Amino acid sequence: MNSHDVKDDPFCNLRHNMVSSQIRSRGISNQRLLKVMQSIPRHLFVPRYLQKSAYDDHALPLDSGQTISQPYMVALMTEALCLQADDKVLEIGTGSGYQTAILASLARSVFTVERLRSLSHMAEKNLRALGYDNIHFLIGDGTLGLPDKAPYNCIIATGSLPQLPESLLAQLDENGILVAPVGGRSLQKLLCVKRIGTKVEKHDLGGCQFVPLIGQNGWSS
Ligand code: SAH
């Protein structure tokens, strides 16, 4: 597991407050996750002019009209994945790479796909500088998944989908879990789908608002 050296980190108190007042207080109880969110320097994943707001209770804009998700949403989605230290994870929508850092801290390896080259390169540079060596960065249409490297123990989509693509479910390992915002262009339901043998079990984790995934199994623009 990677962890940021928090010595001399002026953001340490803000991060501590974020975890206690936004994450733990809303019912997230996975201790490994709470510890990781306490250590990852979220301010390094937002544009420089927004660093002071990095630990606020909302999403923030990134370059190219994309967003870094609200900390609580990141925590809710990650907890739902029930990650184990030996897991192989597929992330669709690298964006800033903040969610990627959390996944890579809790699992064995992460394959993360981003449509926009500039965002993927920035996230890769950042995550390598922080010492992560278990992340594979790919540029392309993540709505198709990454069949070459399947099956995955967990799949997470960090942008919205109009419906759940069969091809993604097919890339889940037996007992694998997929978490994705599914529904309309501006409002979605956060779905957690567990694959149990040939069956799937769906849970609705509540309403959410994500930027769209643009692609063959996503939105057209
Ligand atoms: N987890 C990220 C969220 C980024 S927003 C974070 O917290 O920073 C969703 C991301 O999905 C955007 O970066 C967007 O460019 C990307 N995206 C959109 N369509 C995609 C597709 N078909 N495949 C992969 N990434 C896509």
The yes-or-no verdict on residue 208 having pLDDT over 70 is: yes
Topology of domain 61-208 in CATH is Rossmann fold (3.40.50)
Residue 171 Cβ < 6 Å to ligand 1: no
- pLDDT band at residue 112, thresholds of 50, 70 and 90? very high
pTM score of the predicted model = 0.96
Atom of ligand 1 nearest to the CA of 69: 7
Residue 116 Cβ < 6 Å to ligand 1: yes
Sign of the C-alpha dihedral computed for residues 206, 212, 216 and 220 taken in this order: positive
Helix (H, G, I), strand (E, B) or coil at 1: coil
Cα 214 to Cα 221: distance, rounded to the nearest angstrom? 6
Active site residues: 69
Average pLDDT score, the chain: 95
Residue 71 Cβ < 6 Å to ligand 1: no
Hey, what are 67's tokens?
């967003």
Mutational pocket test of ligand 1: of 213, 216, 220, the residue with most ligand atoms within 8 Å of the beta carbon: 213
Residue 68 Cβ < 6 Å to ligand 1: yes
User: Domain map of the chain by residue range?
Assistant: 61-208
Q: How far is the CA of 26 from the centre of ligand 1 (A)?
A: 25
Dump the DSSP string for 31-82: HHHHHHHHHS-GGGGS-GGGGGGTTSSS-EE-GGG-EEPPHHHHHHHHHHTT
Strand partners, 60: 68
Q: Do 135 and 104 touch, CB atoms closer than 8 A?
A: yes
Q: What is the pLDDT of residues 13-44, one digit of tens each?
A: 999 999 999 999 999 999 999 999 999 999 99
Give which of 99, 103, 106, 109 is closest to 133, Cα–Cα: 109
Mutational pocket test of ligand 1: of 44, 58, 114, 144, the residue with most ligand atoms within 8 Å of the beta carbon: 114
